[in-house]
Structure 1
Amino acid sequence: MAIQLKSARVERWPVAGAFVISRGAREHVDVVVAEIDDDGAPGRGEGTPIDYLGEDATGCRDAILRVMPHLAGMSAEGARGAIQELMGPGAARNALDCALWDAEARRRGVPLWRLAGCDGAPAARITAFTISLAAPDRMAADAAAAAEKGFCLFKLKLTGTGDRERVAAVRGAAPDARLIVDANESWGQIDLLAEAEALAELGVEMIEQPVPVGADALLDGVYAPIPFIADESCQTAADVARIGAFYDGVNIKLDKAGGLTEALRIADAADAAGLAIMVGCMLSTSLAIAPAFVLTQRARWVDLDGPALLARDRENGFRFGGGEVAPPDPKPNP
């Protein structure tokens, strides 16, 4: 058994409207796709470069091309172990790692969740739907439109200024929705407890990454009425022990972790530390969501709306309806 790289390429997918957070706006997303063959069993994986780590899709593609000669003659399982040492976390390793998982599952004839050691097949879950950063009235309108489509859990992108007004506007437009917020590191200069208390009064149930990476100690002694979840501050399993004293949970994203292999390690570390798990994603197609979905049965919050934020998705992608994300319909027998 030996793997071969069939393709490593960059694809561009348009966003539906624009995706705006505190660090900027995007009208499209460039992803890197790895396709391999494991003795006749195909495998595909997709990674979205993390811009705040300086990644870009072309560089990720080139990283995959550089590492493949070092994997010559290896099985998919052996190559998965090797790339944990040969490549750092990020989108390139994620795409290749997930392609290797996919190929191994197909070659063995077992579902990915079983190969990953999960207790059962993951079922449909309520997913957050992201409301991009904008003026309060714009965010309220976007939330109302999303509610009409059946979404019932909204993740609001915030920026550290005027956030209470944004949340209040969304609450007014979608009074029955569940709300979580993502500050994207923008709350380093504000009263964290006062802000958390104000948002809790508006029904917010969780705050993601309030402070900048490296400034996590700002949360020390802040006993907020709602949990703080680490995103950018928790990239790998090794980070869990370092940030566990300041956060109540971690957001696991395969692109940050560098694939499903490390994501499973993060989940184990979070469980051991008594931290809640959130499973998130970058802007992506359903190809990237498939391996992340195996973690949803372990998660308190699921935020896998990447494909729902695109103008179009891959054929036979994940299904979004009634506020839930569900696996694609089984392909009919020929």
Structure 2
Amino acid sequence: MTNPSVTTRIERWPVAGAFTIARNSQTEVELIVAEVSDGTHVGRGEATPIYYEGETAELCAEAIAMRAKARTPLTRESLLDTMMEGAARNALDCALWELEAKQAGKPVWQLAGLPQPAPAATAFTISLAEPATMEAAAKAASGRHAMLKIKLDADRIEERVAAVRRGAPDARLIVDANESWDDLDIGAEARALAALGVEMIEQPVSAGEEDLLLGLGAPIPFCADESCHTHEDLDRCEGRFQAVNIKLDKAGGLTEALLLAEKARMRGMAVMVGCMLSTSLGIAPAALLAPRAKWIDLDGPLLLARDRPGGFALKDGLLVPPAAPFWG
């Protein structure tokens, strides 16, 4: 079997304002796009390099080029054994999914045995800022989004969450500490946030410090993000986290993401499907996991100054899949 040809390109997309979390602030996101072709059909995949893991778009492009030169078959299954998880594998895996779908004359969701994509409510991220700024952002978003995800660090936690609650009194709230609470009384913080109506806390501790969550008796679940990339990370998460945030860029593609979702479910862990800053091309494969998720956080394109034409739309608080063929 002849391997498909592979090309990559690096794209830069402006953020709407700034996207600020505990570890950094971004005004632009750099993406890697892979295309695979059999001479008749072209499959595409977009990924966002995980900067906190040392990834860059240039390194991703190099990794994809090296894999394309290998003499072994270029298939989704072979990628699991020949590439590390991460953005490079994600871009290539998603491109291969779309190529297979076009070759088979059926959409990816059918190939994967999944439900057809449907409108779904997504969380909208409130960036870390002064409490008054976060309150205003929550008020502006509350009419369009039923669930808000609050970015936090270790400073003024309750004050910031209370400000968001004032701005959006009826919204569902989840928070993301991005590994910043190692030195805090995490159980006390969880109880305080539960009193403010927060229903889940994402990644309160640094990856590698999961044991800090043992025996806390928190009233709301903890969700692993940085601590869980693939199904092989579930052992260190079980008993510490009650849910996992599945992002294709961490998992290294839709193929591993589907496996991770199933393995998490078998352990009784809830699933969140999330994303990095991305365009709708990166969201389309991730959205296939939405029916399996308790929390959906696919607002990547909504945080950009612009998106690809024909991508996802926000309507009545729901993220609506493209009407015309877009990906897969």
Say whether residues 1:286 and 2:288 are aligned partners.
Answer: no
Specify whether residues 214 and 36 from structure 1 end up closer, same or farther in structure 2 by C-alpha distance, changes over 3 A only.
Answer: same
Query: How far 1:39 moved relative to its partner?
Result: 4.6
In structure 2, the residue matched to 1:69 is 69
Q: 1:144 aligns with which of 139, 143, 157?
A: 139
Q: Which moved more, 1:99-108 or 1:315-324?
A: 315-324
Indicate conservation of the 8 Å contact 1:229/1:249, yes or no.
yes
In structure 1, the residue matched to 2:183 is 189
* Equivalent residues in 2 for 1:81-160, closer than 5 Å: 81-118=77-114, 120-148=115-143, 150-160=144-154
In structure 1, the residue matched to 2:45 is 45
Indicate conservation of the 8 Å contact 2:210/2:236, yes or no.
no
Question: What secondary structure, in the 3-state scheme, does the structure 2 residue paired with 1:313 have?
Answer: coil
| Cα distance in structure 1, aligned partners of 2:52 and 2:325 | 38
**1:221-252: CA deviation from partner (whole Å, max 9, x where unpaired):** 01111110000000110111221111111000
Indicate conservation of the 8 Å contact 1:38/1:107, yes or no.
no
Query: How far 1:4 moved relative to its partner?
Result: 2.6
| Cα distance in structure 2, aligned partners of 1:105 and 1:233 | 32
| Cα distance in structure 1, aligned partners of 2:138 and 2:110 | 36
Question: What secondary structure, in the 3-state scheme, does the structure 1 residue paired with 2:49 have?
Answer: coil
Indicate conservation of the 8 Å contact 1:3/1:39, yes or no.
no
* Equivalent residues in 2 for 1:27-42, closer than 5 Å: 27-42=27-42
Query: How far 1:71 moved relative to its partner?
Result: 5.2
Question: What secondary structure, in the 3-state scheme, does the structure 2 residue paired with 1:18 have?
Answer: strand
Say whether residues 1:59 and 2:59 are aligned partners.
Answer: yes
Indicate conservation of the 8 Å contact 1:156/1:167, yes or no.
yes
Say whether residues 1:23 and 2:17 are aligned partners.
Answer: no
Query: How far 1:168 moved relative to its partner?
Result: 0.2
Specify whether residues 257 and 331 from structure 1 end up closer, same or farther in structure 2 by C-alpha distance, changes over 3 A only.
Answer: closer
Letter of the 2:62 partner, please give it.
D
| Cα distance in structure 1, aligned partners of 2:12 and 2:4 | 24
Structure 1 unaligned spans of 5+? none
In structure 2, the residue matched to 1:229 is 223
Specify whether residues 331 and 273 from structure 1 end up closer, same or farther in structure 2 by C-alpha distance, changes over 3 A only.
Answer: closer
Letter of the 1:158 partner, please give it.
L
| Cα distance in structure 2, aligned partners of 1:116 and 1:100 | 13
Cα RMSD after superposing both structures:
1.4
Letter of the 1:308 partner, please give it.
L
**Which aligned runs of 4 or more in structure 1 are off by greater than 6 angstroms?**
none
| Cα distance in structure 2, aligned partners of 1:223 and 1:7 | 50
Percent of residue pairs identical: 56
Say whether residues 1:329 and 2:323 are aligned partners.
Answer: yes
**1:149-189: CA deviation from partner (whole Å, max 9, x where unpaired):** x1121000000110100000010011011110000001111
Letter of the 2:128 partner, please give it.
L
Question: What secondary structure, in the 3-state scheme, does the structure 2 residue paired with 1:268 have?
Answer: helix
Letter of the 2:141 partner, please give it.
A
* Equivalent residues in 2 for 1:171-182, closer than 5 Å: 171-182=165-176
User: TM-score, normalized by length of structure 2?
Assistant: 0.97
| Cα distance in structure 1, aligned partners of 2:206 and 2:184 | 12
Q: 1:206 aligns with which of 200, 207, 212?
A: 200
Indicate conservation of the 8 Å contact 1:151/1:321, yes or no.
no
Letter of the 1:34 partner, please give it.
A
Query: How far 1:29 moved relative to its partner?
Result: 0.2
| Cα distance in structure 2, aligned partners of 1:278 and 1:151 | 17
Letter of the 2:218 partner, please give it.
A
Question: What secondary structure, in the 3-state scheme, does the structure 2 residue paired with 1:10 have?
Answer: strand
Letter of the 1:61 partner, please give it.
A
User: TM-score, normalized by length of structure 1?
Assistant: 0.95
Letter of the 1:98 partner, please give it.
C
Indicate conservation of the 8 Å contact 1:2/1:39, yes or no.
no
Query: How far 1:69 moved relative to its partner?
Result: 1.4
Letter of the 1:239 partner, please give it.
D
| Cα distance in structure 2, aligned partners of 1:303 and 1:50 | 17
Indicate conservation of the 8 Å contact 2:15/2:27, yes or no.
yes
**1:4-33: CA deviation from partner (whole Å, max 9, x where unpaired):** 335201000000000000001000000000
Letter of the 2:247 partner, please give it.
K
Count of aligned residue pairs for this structure pair: 326
Query: How far 1:82 moved relative to its partner?
Result: 1.6
Query: How far 1:331 moved relative to its partner?
Result: 5.5
